Structure 1
Amino acid sequence: MSDSNRKSLPVPRVLRRVGAGAKNALTILKRGRLGAPYRASFDVVRQERTYALRHYHGDDSVEAVAPVLLVPPLMVTSEIYDISPELSAINFLGANGMDVWLCDYGNPLAEDDGLERTLDDHILAVDDAIETVARETGQKVHLLGYSQGGMFCYQAAGYRRAKDIGSIITFGSPVDIRKNLPVRVHDDIAARLIKVARQGLKGPIEDLDGLPGWLTSRGFKLLNPQKELGQILDFFGLLHDRDALEQREPKRLFLGGDGFVHWPGEALRDFIDQVIVQNRMASGGFVVDGRTFSLSDIDAPILYFVGQRDDLARPAAVRAIERAAPDTETHGVDIPAGHFGLVVGSTAMGTVWPTVVDWVRWKAGAADDKPELLRPQAERTQDDAKPVDPQSNDDSNTRMLYDLATELADGLWHKLGDVSRDFSNIVDTVRWQLPRLAQLENLDDGQPVNIGLALEEQAHAIPDKTFFLWDGRAFTYAQANRRVNQLLSAMVDDGAKPGQHIGVLMDNHPDLLTAVAAINRLGAVAVLLNSGLRGVSLTQALEAANVEWLVCDPAHVDTSRTGFDAGPIGVLGAHDEDRPLPDDVIDLEANLDPQVDAPPEGIEANAGLAGDLAMLIFTSGTTGLPKPAKITNRRWAMAALGAAAACMLSPKDTVYCALPLYHATGLLVGCGGALIGGARLALAREFSVRQFWSEVRRYGATVVFYVGEMCRYLVSAPEQPNEHRHPVRMFVGNGMRAEVWNKLVDRFGRVRVLEFYGSTEGNVVLANFGGEKAGSVGRPLPGTDEITLVRYDAASGQPLRDDAGRLRSCGDDEPGLLLARISDSHPLAYFDGYLDAEQTEQKIIRDGFHDGDAWFNTGDVLRRDADGDFWFVDRVGDTFRWHGENVSTQQVAQVLDEASFCKMTVVYGVEVPGYDGRAGMAAMVLDDDAEFDGDALFALVDEHLFPAAHPRFVRLVDALEHTDSFKFITTTLRDEGANPTAIDDPIYVYDADARTYRPLTPDAWVPEGL
Structure 2
Amino acid sequence: MRTTTAPGTVAELVARQWGDHRPGLKHEDGVLTRHRTAQEAAARAALLVDLMPPGAEPHLGVLLDNTPEFPFWLGAAALAGAAVAGINPTRRGPELARDILHTDCRLLITEPAHLPLLRGLDLPGVRVLVTGTEEYAALLAPYAAAEPGDATLGAPGPGSRLLLYFTSGSTGAPKAAICTQGRLAAAGAALARRFSVTPDDVHYVCMPLFHGNAVIADWLPALAGDAAVALRRRFSASAFLDDVRTHGATYFTYVGRAVQYLLATEPRPDDREHPLRLGFGTEAGAADAARFTERFGVPLVEGYGATEGGASVQRTPDTPPAALGRAGAGDDLAVIDSETGRTCPPAVFDDRGRLLNADRAIGELVNRGRSLFEGYWRNPDAEAARTRDGWYWTGDLFYRDAQGFLYFAGRTDDRLRVDSENLAAAVIENILARWADAAAVAVYAVPDEVAGDQVMAALALRDGAVFDPAAFAAFLAAQPDLGTKMPPRYVRIVPAMPVTATNKVHRVALRRAGFRCPDPVWHRAPGGAYRPLTGADLANLLAAYAAHDRTDLPAR
Pairing partner for 1:503 from 61, 66, 69: 61
Distance 1:941 1:553 in 2: 49
Matched with 2:217 is 669
1:640 aligns with 2:188: yes
Measure, in 2, the Cα distance between the counterparts of 1:902 and 1:1001: 24
For the aligned residue pairs, the C-alpha RMSD in angstroms reads 2.5
- 1:894 equivalent in structure 2: 430
Q: 1:589 to 1:621 in 2, by over 3 A?
A: farther
Match of 2:37 among 480, 483, 504: 480
Structure 1, gaps ≥5 residues long: 1-434, 440-447, 582-586, 794-799, 802-807, 824-828, 847-853
Aligned-partner Cα distance in 2 for 1:608–1:595: 21
- Is 1:916 the counterpart of 2:458? The answer is no
The AA in structure 1 aligned to 2:302 is: E
The within-5 A match list for 1:763-842 is 763-770=310-317, 773-781=320-328, 783-793=329-339, 800-801=340-341, 808-813=342-347, 814-821=361-368, 823=370, 829-835=371-377, 836-842=379-385
Question: TM-score scaled by structure 2?
Answer: 0.87
862-871 or 656-665: which moved more? Answer: 862-871
Question: Where in structure 2 are the equivalents of 1:182-193 lying within 5 Å?
Answer: none
Instruction: Map 1:473-872 onto structure 2 (within 5 A).
Output: 473-495=30-52, 499-557=57-115, 559-560=117-118, 562-563=120-121, 565-567=123-125, 569-571=127-129, 573-575=131-133, 587=136, 590-593=139-142, 595-599=144-148, 603-604=151-152, 607-749=155-297, 751-770=298-317, 773-781=320-328, 783-793=329-339, 800-801=340-341, 808-813=342-347, 814-821=361-368, 823=370, 829-835=371-377, 836-846=379-389, 854-872=390-408
Question: Which residue number corresponds to residue 484 of structure 2?
Answer: 947
CA–CA distance in structure 1, aligned partners of residues 500 and 205 of structure 2: 17
Give the whole-Å Cα distance in 2 for the aligned partners of 1:612 and 1:707.
29
Tell me the SS of whatever aligns to 2:18.
helix
Task: Give the equivalent residue in structure 1 for 2:356.
Answer: none
Per-residue deviation at 1:657? 1.0
Work out whether residues 88 and 501 of structure 2, in 8 Å CA contact, stay in contact via their aligned partners in 1: no
Deviation at 1:607, TM superposition (A): 2.8
Q: Report deviation, 1:974.
A: 2.2
1:997 aligns with 2:533: no
Counterpart AA for 1:486: A
User: For residues 976 and 549 of structure 1, do their structure 2 counterparts lie closer, same or farther at Cα, with a shift above 3 Å needed?
Assistant: closer
Task: Output the CA distance in 1 between the equivalents of 2:122 and 2:218.
Answer: 30
The separation in 1 between residues aligned to 2:470 and 2:115, in whole angstroms, is 55
Preserved contact between residue 549 and residue 566 of structure 1 (Cα < 8 Å) = no
Instruction: Output the CA distance in 1 between the equivalents of 2:384 and 2:98.
Output: 21
Partner of 2:501: 964
Q: 1:495 to 1:950 in 2, by over 3 A?
A: closer
- Aligned amino acid, residue 549 of structure 1: L
- When residues 620 and 992 of structure 1 are mapped into structure 2, their CA distance, relative to the original with a 3 A threshold, is closer
**Preserved contact between residue 816 and residue 861 of structure 1 (Cα < 8 Å):** yes
Distance 1:727 1:600, change over 3 A: closer
CA contact 1:452–1:606 (8 Å) conserved in 2: no
| CA 1:496–1:475: 2 relative to 1, 3 Å | farther
2:25 to 454, 458, 468: 468
Q: Greater RCO between the two (CA within 8 Å, min separation 6)?
A: 2
Deviation at 1:495, TM superposition (A): 4.5
- Deviation track 1:186-207 (CA, whole Å, cap 9, x = no partner) reads xxxxxxxxxxxxxxxxxxxxxx
Equivalent position SS for 1:954: strand
* Residues 621-673 of structure 1, C-alpha deviations (whole Å, 9 max, x = no match): 12211111111112212321232122221111111110110100111221011
Looking at secondary structure, tell me which structure has more helix per residue.
Answer: 1
Q: Distance in 2 between matches of 1:646 and 1:600?
A: 30
Distance 1:646 1:606, change over 3 A: farther
Residue 733 (structure 1) shift:
0.6
**1:467 to 1:636, Cα distance in 2 relative to 1, 3 A:** same
Q: Which amino acid aligns with 2:45?
A: L
For residues 226 and 148 of structure 2, what CA distance do their matches in structure 1 show?
A: 22
- 3-state SS in 2 of match to 1:776: coil
Aligned to 2:462: 927
Q: Return the letter of the residue paired with 2:536.
A: D
Cα displacement string for residues 10-51 of structure 1 (whole angstroms, at most 9, x for unaligned residues) = xxxxxxxxxxxxxxxxxxxxxxxxxxxxxxxxxxxxxxxxxx
Counterpart code for 1:766: V
Give the structure 2 partner of residue 450 of structure 1.
9
Q: What residue number does 1:938 align with?
A: 473
Tell me which amino acid in the other structure corresponds to 2:336: V
Residue type of the partner of 1:457? R
Distance 1:535 1:664, change over 3 A: same
Contact kept in structure 2, 1:862 and 1:871, CA below 8 Å? yes
Judge conservation of contact 2:8–2:186 (CA < 8 Å) in 1.
Answer: no
Three-state SS of the structure 1 residue aligned to 2:189 is: helix
Paired with 2:510 and 2:417, the residues of 1 have a C-alpha distance of 18
8 Å contact kept, 2:363–2:399: yes
Distance 1:568 1:539 in 2: 10
CA–CA separation in structure 2 for the residues paired with 1:532 and 1:972: 13
Q: Distance in 1 between matches of 2:374 and 2:61?
A: 20
Q: Which has the larger radius of gyration?
A: 1
Give, in angstroms, the shift of residue 984 of structure 1: 4.1
The answer (yes or no) to whether the contact 1:521–1:605 under 8 Å persists in 2 is no
Q: Distance in 1 between matches of 2:316 and 2:131?
A: 39
Q: Would the alpha carbon gap of residues 520 and 594 (structure 1) be closer, same or farther in structure 2, given more than 3 Å must change? A: closer
Distance 1:986 1:535 in 2: 31
Offset, 1:558: 5.3
Say if 1:506 and 1:972 are closer, same or farther in 2 by CA, change over 3 A.
closer
Residue type of the alignment partner of 1:923:
A
Name the SS for the 2:414 alignment partner. coil
Q: Is the 8 A contact 1:745 1:752 kept in 2?
A: yes
Show the 5 A alignment for 1:78-117.
none
Q: 1:503 to 1:730 in 2, by over 3 A?
A: same
Opposite residue 111 of structure 2, the aligned amino acid is: D
Is 1:987 equivalent to 2:521 in the alignment? yes
Opposite residue 473 of structure 2, the aligned amino acid is F
Identity between Structure 1 and Structure 2 (%): 28
Residue in 2 aligned with 1:155?
none
Work out the CA distance in 2 between the residues paired with 1:604 and 1:503: 18
Size of the aligned set, in residue pairs, is 520
**Structure 1 position 532, deviation (Å):** 3.0
Structure 2 unaligned spans of 5+: 348-360, 542-556
Residues 762, 856 of structure 1: 8 Å contact kept: no
Quick one: distance in 2 between partners of 1:493 and 1:992?
A: 67
- Hey, what's the Cα distance between the residues in 2 that align with 1:765 and 1:736? 17
Give the whole-Å Cα distance in 2 for the aligned partners of 1:665 and 1:619: 11
CA displacement, residues 779-832 of structure 1 (integer Å, 9 cap, x when unaligned): 233x23211111123xxxxxx23xxxxxx1122111111111353xxxxx2221
- Are 1:755 and 1:767, in contact at CA under 8 Å, matched by a contact in 2? no
Partner of residue 42, structure 1: none
Q: 1:339-354 counterparts in 2 under 5 A? A: none
* Structure 1 counterpart of 2:388, one-letter code: I
Conserved in 2, the CA contact under 8 Å of 1:777 and 1:871?
A: yes
